[in-house]
A and B are shown apart, each in its own frame.
Chain A
């Protein structure tokens, strides 16, 4: 049942020009960043050889690419998630799911899986760029894998937050703006941590989505980072389910 709903969601995405243009633009921007990063690498390559323990191809090209991808996708994911619920609510198609023998959880998880399927396609296309370096150089696969895992978890969190915001409104554009605001806030949350000297410094940076991504980008696979993202995703999915349930109930 979840996959039926996810399948329809993906179909709808690919039937709209939005998904295709997002894929194209993201790919174009990241390809440009990728190429400029390669240029940097080529210019310093000669000097790096003489330094022992110097950063390699993966650190100089792949890691900055994935770090930049996170920022680009922070802008793009709200556009993909904005329609999930709000559009159905606006065109009043939600009652099709509500009057079918399908639970709220299946609806929410189905929609989430649908958008994640699309984001996986996008992630796959981004991953192809650093992986193509393998043809001419030596790639640190474990570092790459950690970074890609981090990006996947980050995208999962973005999508979950976007899905929840989409349940709150009937206007897709409002959902997109609000999701973007929420994600950006979660991103820059650690600024206050670094600025303040006292008690806050521990909590706020810890809540920031960026901090956990950075450690994965360094190749540090810490279970607590992964658990942070899984909790983040779970929290927003449960909030979405509760929000949709509240739709029917008395308020």
Chain B
């Protein structure tokens, strides 16, 4: 089990963590390979931050193991921690330091040799858009800039694994865009694990999504897989002459018909039996006057809510 192939940078097996009787994380297993951006989704208190703290070595698990690039985080903490950069929920900033001083200190405790410190500092500042604020006190920077300093701190030693806990909190839309671009860029040669509760963010930057609910992984899927789940299973049609319910049900594939008002109807159909084509044909034949036809998509929000609320085994296991 301990053997890892060269491309799996993070491997987590049967991770559990209890706070007294409270179960924060239960039996979570997953792995992340090089160049992958993994999104960690979950409602508040689901165990996202706990999981991230365990992976980053800030917290020891009650059970289970974590390997970072082949090094067990508990048995070889130094080797493992050298390979990761971590941005906690609250960026760990020394407010009375300037950005340059702080990042230099970070470079030193991450054991970057003296000769490479300055280039590393400049690269990190450039990547996070901090070039102009190097000499300013961190405590005087805005929340968005502080968040960037936090990210710079996590990537200054170019670790193979970057763990970001809600990296876009408190940023304005433009900054969010820049940070997302940065994360995508990091995904090129690093593994990125990122937690968030902003759903479009996951869609925008992640390759793979994991949803955690009440301490358990309830979904582990690629973005494509998730999009498939979001695919339409209903059509919204508007017609000038509304046919009877029976006539609509007669169309192959239609499972249920929902009359919305005098002109509008929603057709639910079985997956892979999209009745749109037949509906149009029939409408032309019978002169229903079809003037609007919209495939309805389930939003990511809906998928999220379905998954986190409707998993029966979660509810029973919580006892």
Q: How many residues of A are counted as interface, with CB atoms below 8 angstroms from the partner's CB atoms?
A: 24
Partner of B109, one of A15, A92, A102, A249: A102
Q: Is the CB of B105 within 8 A of A101?
A: no
The residue in chain B whose Cβ has the minimal distance to the Cβ of A97 is: B109
Partner of B105, one of A4, A95, A99: A4
Q: Is the CB of A99 within 8 A of B58?
A: yes
Partner of A98, one of B58, B62, B96, B97: B58
Q: A92-B90, A94-B92, A95-B86 are in contact. Are A248 and B58 (CB under 8 A)?
A: yes
Is A43 close to B, CB under 8 A? no
User: In the complex, A57 Cα to B81 Cα: how many Å?
Assistant: 57
Query: Which B residues lie within 8 Å of A95 (CB)?
Result: 53, 56, 58, 86, 88, 92
The residue in chain B whose Cβ has the minimal distance to the Cβ of A5 is: B109
Q: Is the CB of A96 within 8 A of B92?
A: yes
Query: Which B residues lie within 8 Å of A97 (CB)?
Result: 109
Is B226 close to A, CB under 8 A? no
A75-109: CB near B (< 8 Å → 1, else 0) gives 00000000000000001111111111111000000
Is B57 close to A, CB under 8 A? yes
Is A16 close to B, CB under 8 A? yes
User: In the complex, A1 Cα to B77 Cα: how many Å?
Assistant: 15
B186-207: CB near A (< 8 Å → 1, else 0) gives 0000000000000000000000
Q: Is the CB of A92 within 8 A of B81?
A: no
Query: Which B residues lie within 8 Å of A91 (CB)?
Result: 90, 92, 95
Q: Is the CB of A101 within 8 A of B92?
A: no
User: In the complex, A75 Cα to B77 Cα: how many Å?
Assistant: 38
A-facing residues in B81-111 (Cβ within 8 Å) = 81-82, 84-86, 88, 90, 92-97, 101, 105-106, 108-111
Q: Is the CB of A8 within 8 A of B105?
A: yes
User: In the complex, A91 Cα to B89 Cα: how many Å?
Assistant: 12
Q: Is the CB of A92 within 8 A of B92?
A: yes
Is A21 close to B, CB under 8 A? no
Q: How many residues of B are counted as interface, with CB atoms below 8 angstroms from the partner's CB atoms?
A: 32
Is B260 close to A, CB under 8 A? no
A164: shortest Cβ distance to chain B, in Å? Answer: 21
Query: Which A residues lie within 8 Å of B57 (CB)?
Result: 98-99, 248
A28: shortest Cβ distance to chain B, in Å? Answer: 26
Q: Is the CB of A99 within 8 A of B108?
A: no
Q: Is the CB of B96 within 8 A of A1?
A: no
A25: shortest Cβ distance to chain B, in Å? Answer: 21
Q: Is the CB of A248 within 8 A of B59?
A: yes
The residue in chain B whose Cβ has the minimal distance to the Cβ of A245 is: B60
Query: Which B residues lie within 8 Å of A92 (CB)?
Result: 88, 90, 92
Identify which of A1, A12, A92, A248 gathers the most chain B CB atoms within 10 Å of its CB: A248
Q: A12-B96, A96-B92 are in contact. Are A101 and B18 (CB under 8 A)?
A: no
Query: Which B residues lie within 8 Å of A223 (CB)?
Result: none
Query: Which A residues lie within 8 Å of B97 (CB)?
Result: 11, 15
A84: shortest Cβ distance to chain B, in Å? Answer: 14
B49-64: CB near A (< 8 Å → 1, else 0) gives 0000100111110100
Is A132 close to B, CB under 8 A? no
User: In the complex, A196 Cα to B101 Cα: how many Å?
Assistant: 56
A180: shortest Cβ distance to chain B, in Å? Answer: 25
Query: Which B residues lie within 8 Å of A50 (CB)?
Result: none
Query: Which B residues lie within 8 Å of A93 (CB)?
Result: 92-94
Query: Which A residues lie within 8 Å of B77 (CB)?
Result: 101, 103
Is B78 close to A, CB under 8 A? yes
Query: Which A residues lie within 8 Å of B82 (CB)?
Result: 101
Partner of B81, one of A8, A16, A99, A249: A99
User: In the complex, A182 Cα to B79 Cα: how many Å?
Assistant: 38
Query: Which A residues lie within 8 Å of B85 (CB)?
Result: 99
User: B: which residues have CB within 8 A of A?
Assistant: 18, 53, 56-60, 62, 77-79, 81-82, 84-86, 88, 90, 92-97, 101, 105-106, 108-111, 153
Besides A5-B109, A101-B79, A250-B60, 6 other A-B contacts (C-beta < 8 A): A4-B108, A98-B57, A99-B57, A99-B85, A101-B78, A248-B60
23 A-B pairs with C-beta separation under 8 A: A1-B111, A4-B108, A5-B109, A12-B94, A12-B96, A16-B96, A91-B92, A93-B92, A93-B94, A95-B53, A95-B56, A95-B88, A96-B92, A98-B56, A99-B57, A99-B88, A100-B109, A101-B78, A101-B82, A101-B111, A248-B60, A250-B60, A250-B62
